[in-house]
Structure 1
Amino acid sequence: MNGINRLDIKQLRVLHALLDLKNLSQVARKMGLTQQAISEQLRKLRDLFDDRLFIRQGNSMVATPKALSMQQPISRILEQLEALLEPDMFSPQTYKGVFTISATDYATQALLPQLFHITRRDAPDLKLIVRDFASDNIN
């Protein structure tokens, strides 16, 4: 089995956190895991990268040159993965679609002229449909 198939996101997050905090207990607290779980992830990472990655010195972990060389690439990878999960931003300027609005006669006269003005300016490809509000049609 090649290396990429043995690597998972949790391991990258553990490695990233260890490079930042340099303490297994703090990483465990930050990630909501046990210290044993972090140690197990570190063991897998050591096996995967064929490097100790961190050496214990007192209560701290000192990164090896191999671990330090991975710090920036791992940060970029995790940022890119986060970006994949971010919702698309709504952009009125490029939105093409239809909104249907139910409004009373008063709302039609008082609010809709300003709404139409803003819509034409900020969302030129948005089509607004206005229907009479009828409370007996509400489900």
Structure 2
Amino acid sequence: MLTSNSSDWQQPVVHQGTTLRGIDLNLLTVFDAVMQEQNITRAAHNLNMSQPAVSNAVSRLKVMFKDDLFMRQGRGISPTLRARQLFVPVRQALQLVRNELPGSLFDPATSSGTFSIAIGTPNDVRLAPELIKNTAKKAPNVKLNLDSLGGISLQSQLLQQEIDFVIGYTHFDKAGFVSTEIFSDELVVICAKNHPRFANKTSLSMEQLLLEQHAILSSTSDVMNFNQIIYKDLQVNSSYRGSTLGNLIEVTARSELVCVVPRWIKDVFPASIGVHAMPFPGEQANIKTYLTWHESRQNDEAHTWMCEQLIAVCDDVFKQE
């Protein structure tokens, strides 16, 4: 039982239909903390409350929502389906309230906090060092969590505020998400410098491209949506599937395969690797990179500041290349 006799939360739950007059809204902050940690002790530590007080609050939440909400699982707890359904709207509501509280202005020079940013490879290598340096200079007490993440879970992570931003090739077009283009890269077809058909060519046709064997990304790659963008409506034969675009270039340099990558990646490799680049012949001559966040964070001062920093740093990196 997640209960306690602590006096910290002893006011009775008063049911008032759909009104809030009898509801202790402080309970929602407990619910949010317990959902994030899925552990009563850690949630209590984060809230600066006693463990019995948090357990008592959870008991009151169960009455409020007429659901068990959390079940024991090993040393922690597991949320019920009802708790999972409540988590996102409760988090968003709490964030909206925090945004409007007095003193919520963000001062980068003195403020602390953590920003979690998913940066799809290869842009992580390109952007992470500059983002880290910029944040350390302008907001020395702010912590960055930069992860090269991919997959369908990103949308859910943004919605649940597990991550704050996504930088990648995917444009999030569903309601509630904001995706803004931060730069566009030229696409090139890469082949070995001594390739039997393209060694001395400055261009190739789409028909020629489709006849070749390709090195493409595997379905488990973290490069968000790259294959779907490049090969949309194109049918190609692939002899190699790699986890990164760098792997594709390495294999292509030592074979008769071809691959399609943003030009800047090819330029990172030393000339000694022996690759040749030609403009991509398709309509998709460039690939766009987007910065995405959830609209529930629009009025968050800290979030707005970091958004501006991300756009500025990405712009500087792109201009220097």
With the length of structure 1 as denominator, give the TM-score of the two structures: 0.59
**In structure 2, what is the equivalent of residue 45 of structure 1?**
61
Indicate the RMSD between aligned Cα atoms, in angstroms. Answer: 1.7
1:12 aligns to 2:31 (yes or no)? no
1:57 aligns to 2:73 (yes or no)? yes
Out of 66, 89, 106, the position equivalent to 1:73 is 89
> Larger radius of gyration, structure 1 or 2?
1
Out of 72, 85, 89, the position equivalent to 2:101 is 85
Q: CA deviation at 1:88?
A: 8.6
2:71 aligned counterpart, secondary structure: strand
**In structure 1, what is the equivalent of residue 47 of structure 2?**
31
Distance (whole Å) between structure 1 residues aligned to residue 96 and residue 38 of structure 2: 23
Q: 1:53 to 1:86 in 2, by over 3 A?
A: same
Q: Figure out how many residues of one structure are paired with residues of the other and give that number.
A: 89
Distance (whole Å) between structure 2 residues aligned to residue 2 and residue 46 of structure 1: 16
Return the letter of the residue paired with 2:67.
D
Q: CA deviation at 1:8?
A: 2.3
Distance (whole Å) between structure 2 residues aligned to residue 86 and residue 62 of structure 1: 35
Distance (whole Å) between structure 1 residues aligned to residue 67 and residue 86 of structure 2: 12
Return the letter of the residue paired with 1:45.
L
Per-residue CA shift, 1:88-120, capped at 9, x if unaligned? 97xxxxxxxxxxxxxxxxxxxxxxxxxxxxxxx
Distance (whole Å) between structure 2 residues aligned to residue 24 and residue 46 of structure 1: 15
Q: 1:86 to 1:56 in 2, by over 3 A?
A: same
Gaps of 5+ in 2: 1-14, 106-321
Q: CA deviation at 1:67?
A: 0.3
Structure (1 or 2) with the greater strand fraction: 2
1:21 aligns to 2:41 (yes or no)? no
Q: 1:25 to 1:84 in 2, by over 3 A?
A: same
Distance (whole Å) between structure 2 residues aligned to residue 20 and residue 63 of structure 1: 10
Distance (whole Å) between structure 2 residues aligned to residue 77 and residue 15 of structure 1: 12
Return the letter of the residue paired with 2:42.
Q
Q: CA deviation at 1:87?
A: 4.8
Asked if the contact 2:98–2:104 (Cα under 8 Å) also holds between the matched residues in 1, the reply is: no
Q: CA deviation at 1:6?
A: 3.5
2:21 aligned counterpart, secondary structure: helix
Give percent identity, aligned residues only. 26
Asked if the contact 1:6–1:48 (Cα under 8 Å) also holds between the matched residues in 2, the reply is: no
Per-residue CA shift, 1:18-55, capped at 9, x if unaligned? 11100000001111101100011001000011100000
Q: 1:67 to 1:35 in 2, by over 3 A?
A: same
Return the letter of the residue paired with 2:36.
D
Asked if the contact 1:28–1:34 (Cα under 8 Å) also holds between the matched residues in 2, the reply is: yes
Return the letter of the residue paired with 1:2.
Q
